[in-house]
Amino acid sequence: MTLNSSSCNLFITLAGSPNSGKTTLFNYLSGKNYKTVNYPGSTVDSALANLQRKFNLNALLLDSPGIISLNPESTDEEIAINSLYKHAKLGKPDLVIVTVDASQLSRHLYLVKQIVNANFNVVIALTMVDILNQKGLDIDENKLSKIIHCKVFKVDSRSGKGVQKLLNYVNNIKNKLKNNHLQSSKSSGTNTTEEVLRIYNEIEVIEEQTIFELNENKNIDLTEANKQLNLITNKSLKSKCNQIDARTAKIDKILLHKTWGLLFFFLIMAFTFTSIFWFAQPIMDFISFIFQVLSTEMLILVGNNWLGMFLANGIINGVGSVAVFIPQILILFLILGFLEDSGYLARGAMLIDRPLSKIGLNGKSFVPMLSGFACAIPAMMAARTIPNRRERMLTIFILPLLSCSARLPVYTLLLAFLFPGNKAWIAGLVLASIYLLSTISSVLVAAIINKLNNKIIKDEDNSSFILELPAYRRPKLKVVAINMWHSGKLYIQKAGPVILVLSIFIWFFTTFPNIDPQVNEKNITQEQVNRLKNSERLATSYAADLGKIIQPVMTPLGLDWRVGVSLIAAFAAREVFVSSMTLIFKVTDSHSSLMDSMIGAMRNAKIGNTEQKLFTPASIIGIIIFFMFALQCLATVAVSRKETGSWRIPILQLLIFSSLAYVLSFIAVNGLRILGMS
């Protein structure tokens, strides 16, 4: 839907600090499902929504990246501030709704005072009031409204409590807002330390006047609970709102421990990736069975001619070979969603800050790196939150090394080959190890690049990492499920069309020009006839001609041209490797599931006319290593070019990572052969 301001009475902008509940409020108001997490960096682009349909309010709502002040320090903050003063297409907002975390009032009011002083029409949406109440405190929104000179509303963006009251107020004053355009003035960015301290002293007074203690919780010693955390803070900024509740303090005493914290982090990650195999297997078997039945019925309905083969093998089996892995991807997003919504992954950023600082990065790189496990494209966009250009470029450089969800179908197929049946738990542990190794390899590469860069870049900027730790909250299943569905839908929308188109191309190149080869059908079953025709058709296909060119490159890896063609196809999208293998190896067995048929075809595959097996433990491990390092995603290359501003880094990524993948795969395959694993 195309949105424009000409059809709307009001243009409203949402502003707020990271972790203030801004995107959660936007999701409720818009009915959309943008990703929201408990640490900065989740929102890097502006989002638009019309409030007419859901709330019958003729207004256009803009959400943009979170900002700490009107003085930008990073690319995403600059985008947000520029759109706040004057959006490129929509102009100046009629109203700015600023989200303020009631439990972090002393920090978040600084931005409010700046926006009010810049002559914007402002309404404050107080969020996280429930967390403030858990500390035995509450806030008087009427007093705050009088002191700060703008209307204040308590809202719960998850349940929607208080939101309608805010919108009713906006609706009542919309005519006044349209006729009350004040001249906004940009901040000069020259605030001195004295000025900043003066503003915070004013905020401290405001906090003393508006925050009050709940009667029933007067005897709770929150100050003592707060001492359990080792926090560094300016004495002048201490306030009742900054106290951490005892439960959070007790949990963090373990989860933020320098030794036990890292151990729990790795155990949680290991559980996450092991669960992908355990929980998803029954659903995968069902989906695989459905696609196999559809393929068989299509051949019966249309006939074993070129059209029937195209629909059954080219379309149904090609798409089904990747669709079978969607449950694993959804489970991955579901578990990560629970961890995000609970506030735990914000602790992960703190745990990883110290080791990252050793290689020229800091905890801000954790957000893009975590996103990289889903997809490198939004991860590179999330790197805009890193204000230091050198750290931003280094983070973008290593992101393709992290194992994204597109690699998951490949790993699942190859690990199912190595660890069949009741050994799925071993496959899960190996999968967790692959993700761990991809993280370690990205860190090692970053350390090497950082060391080389130190000889070239002498006058680098100093960087810092400041993170607000949210209180632990019970994840809401509805919120997590919606985000899981949204992430899974985006994956299907991104990968689905590419897989469909490439499946058609691969079917064409592996079937033509010898569409109906002649074989001796005497004394053999129809199934044997079909297998012989498939073999002859493939051997005389266009794909075989291409295979003869790339065969010398594949031989040192213990592979043949068929795997080579699949690897080439995977450069368009990694997931295509599985569907390509399904088509090239002519997986059409109707007596078992698609996954079992694929693994069976791999076990029976021979190199050329020899009796030497094509797929062995050594060659499978070699393919896994290749996928761990190779940059097989042209979309990632394009986004890298956009985010870095030149072709230098993406070309280096493509050359270095692909070469490293081949060399390490070669060493692994031949080393394992020497050890007798062939």
Could you tell me the residue ranges of all domains in the chain?
5-243, 260-406+422-479, 496-674
Q: What angle do CA 599, 560, 421 make, to 5 degrees?
A: 15
590-610 pLDDT, tens digit each: 556 677 778 888 888 888 777
CA distance 357 to 562: 44
Give yes or no for a cis peptide into 513 (omega within 30° of 0). Answer: yes
Provide the pLDDT confidence category of residue 76 given band limits of 50, 70 and 90.
Answer: low
Q: What is the pLDDT of residue 619?
A: 92
More confident: 59 or 288: 59
pLDDT tens, residue by residue, 560-587 = 888 888 888 787 678 778 877 877 776 5
- CATH fold label, 5-243: Rossmann fold (3.40.50)
User: Quick one: pLDDT at residue 81?
Assistant: 82
pLDDT at 42: 43
Given this model, what pLDDT does residue 99 score?
92
- Residue 225 and residue 245 in contact, taking contact as beta carbons nearer than 8 Å: yes
Q: Which residue has the higher pLDDT, 133 or 74?
A: 133
The pLDDT of residue 660 is above 90? yes
Torsion region of 430: left, alpha or beta (phi above 0 gives left; psi -120 to 50 gives alpha)? alpha
Give the residue, 139 or 536, on which the prediction is more confident.
139
Element holding 101 (H helix, E strand): strand 95-101
Residues in contact with 621: Cβ distance below 8 Å, sequence separation at least 6, in sequence order: 418, 668, 669, 672
Q: pLDDT band for position 624 (50/70/90)?
A: very high
pLDDT at 480 over 90: no
Dist CA 480 CA 561 (whole Å): 43
Contact 46, 1 (CB under 8 A): no
Residue 571 is given by DSSP the state T
**b/e for 228-251, b at 16 or more Cβ within 10 A?**
eeeeeeeeeeebbbbbbbbebbee
Rounded Cα gap, residues 315 and 505, in angstroms: 10
Q: Is pLDDT above 70 for 226?
A: no
SS3 67: coil
Q: Where are the alpha helices (DSSP H) in 403-473?
A: 408-418, 424-454
Give CA angle at 20 (15, 23), nearest 5°: 65
Stretch 356-373: mean pLDDT? 72
Residue with tokens 């590419």: 498
